[in-house]
């Protein structure tokens, strides 16, 4: 009988330990947070997503980076997501009007245009007016995309009329054409040109101040991970989010 006492005691301890571990296991239950974000947020949100995962055990942040207008269309057609971050207020307003946003959005950053050119600026582009010269292949974003809308505003306010070789569906596509040499120059965001500094040069131009884009973020209506989505938006709006966004040139709201 004496021999059984230590065995029974050990079994009781094991059972107690298993019981104490069960709540912790539930807390670390695997969850996926789906974020629809503007293409220009690719680098910054990619880094912030990893930081958020590190602070939330069991959480994976899954991003879908596209033009804001395309993301709104997907949401209004029933695509499931938890968070939407737009590159302009106009597309967030469309999402709100389409009743796919839960509550109000909050602006977390601003951005402006810059000219992306090949390394060394082989065409000697110094400003916006140079993009209207003959012999240059220039690409821009399509008008319905935030960077395209900003491009249109800049042309109207400056009086410079561009004749683009193509109008792309997101800013990364414009940048890619400059990187590959398919275009001599492209109108992108400051942040995109900064992130791709190893492959392109950036030419700032004063007229860009007339088309500053606000970047709003919001929780999606009926989000599968609503509580986690709120935590993520607060994280982006907080000090850590601002610090990461500032690294590539996003402005404060």
Q: Each residue's pLDDT tens digit in the chain (253 positions)? A: 444 444 444 444 444 444 444 444 455 689 999 999 999 999 999 999 999 999 999 999 999 999 999 999 999 999 999 999 999 999 999 999 999 999 999 999 999 999 999 999 999 999 999 999 999 999 999 999 999 999 999 999 999 999 999 999 999 999 999 999 999 999 999 999 999 999 999 999 999 999 999 999 999 999 999 999 999 999 999 999 999 999 999 999 9
Could you tell me if 124 and 104 lie in one domain?
Answer: no
Could you tell me if 88 and 137 lie in one domain?
Answer: no
pLDDT of residue 27: 52
pLDDT of residue 190: 97
Could you tell me if 56 and 69 lie in one domain?
Answer: yes
Q: Is residue 19 part of a domain?
A: no
Q: Is residue 13 part of a domain?
A: no
Could you tell me if 103 and 61 lie in one domain?
Answer: yes
Q: Is residue 20 part of a domain?
A: no
Q: Is residue 5 part of a domain?
A: no
Q: How many CB atoms lie within 10 A of CB 129?
A: 13
CA dist., res. 136 & res. 182, Å (int)? 11
Could you tell me if 72 and 128 lie in one domain?
Answer: no
Q: Contact 68/95 with Cβ under 8 angstroms?
A: no
What is residue 50's three-state secondary structure? helix
Domain that holds residue 152: 113-210
Could you tell me if 95 and 118 lie in one domain?
Answer: no
pLDDT of residue 23: 47
pLDDT digits (tens, 9 = 90+) for 146-164: 999 999 999 999 999 999 9
Q: What are phi and psi for residue 56, nearest 5 degrees?
A: -130, 100
Could you tell me if 150 and 190 lie in one domain?
Answer: yes
pLDDT of residue 28: 62
Count of structural domains within the chain: 2
For residue 122, give both structure tokens.
């082989």
Task: Say which CATH number the domain at 180 has.
Answer: 3.40.190.10
Q: Is residue 21 part of a domain?
A: no
pLDDT of residue 180: 97
Angle made by CA atoms 180, 199, 205, in degrees to the nearest 5:
100
pLDDT of residue 29: 82
């Amino acid at each position: 009988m004496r021999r059984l006492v230590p065995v029974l005691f050990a079994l009781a301890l094991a059972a107690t330990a298993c019981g104490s571990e069960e709540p912790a296991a539930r807390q670390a239950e695997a969850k996926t947070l789906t974020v629809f974000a503007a293409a220009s947020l690719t680098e910054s949100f990619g880094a912030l997503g990893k930081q958020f995962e590190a602070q939330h055990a069991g959480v994976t942040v899954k991003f879908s980076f596209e033009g804001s207008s395309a993301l709104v269309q997907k949401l209004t057609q029933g695509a499931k997501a938890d968070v939407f971050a737009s590159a302009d207020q106009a597309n967030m307003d469309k999402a709100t009007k389409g009743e796919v946003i839960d509550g109000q959005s909050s602006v977390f950053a601003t951005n402006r245009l810059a000219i992306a050119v090949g390394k060394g600026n082989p065409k000697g582009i110094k400003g916006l007016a140079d993009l209207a010269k003959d012999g240059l292949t220039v690409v821009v974003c399509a008008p319905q995309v935030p960077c395209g809308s900003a491009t249109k505003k800049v042309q109207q306010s400056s009086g410079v009329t561009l004749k683009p070789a193509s109008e792309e569906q997101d800013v990364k596509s414009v940048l890619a054409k400059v990187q590959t040499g398919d275009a001599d120059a492209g109108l992108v965001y400051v942040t995109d040109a900064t992130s791709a500094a190893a492959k392109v040069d950036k030419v700032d131009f004063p007229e860009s101040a007339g088309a500053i884009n606000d970047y709003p973020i919001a929780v999606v209506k009926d989000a599968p991970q609503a509580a986690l989505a709120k935590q993520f938006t607060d994280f982006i709006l907080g000090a850590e989010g601002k610090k990461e966004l500032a690294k590539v040139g996003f402005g404060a709201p």
